[in-house]
Amino acid sequence: EIPITYRLHKVDGKWRVYDVAVKGISLINTYRQQFRSIIRRSSYAELVKILRRKRDEG
């Protein structure tokens, strides 16, 4: 059995998931660490380029 935790908040009367943690590892925190690393190595503009490229790849 693998523990999964969902963090939710209410938007316009509907519950929305904004984070998922598997075995205590938060998706938000993981992305945040990756983003910080990219910004440190290059720049915020580079992070935006990477995210746009991934979005466009589908």
Look at residue 43 and give its three-state secondary structure. Answer: coil
Q: Quote the domain boundaries for residue 17.
A: 4-57
What's the whole-model pTM score? Answer: 0.74
CA angle 26, 45, 35 (to 5 degrees): 15
Residue 4 tokens, joined: 């999964």
Q: How many CB atoms lie within 10 A of CB 24?
A: 7
> pLDDT value at position 58?
83
pLDDT given for residue 31 in this prediction:
96
- Give the chain's domain count: 1
What is the H or E stretch that residue 53 is in?
A: helix 44-57
pLDDT in 10s for each residue of the chain, 58 residues: 999 999 999 999 999 999 999 999 999 999 999 999 999 999 999 999 999 999 999 8
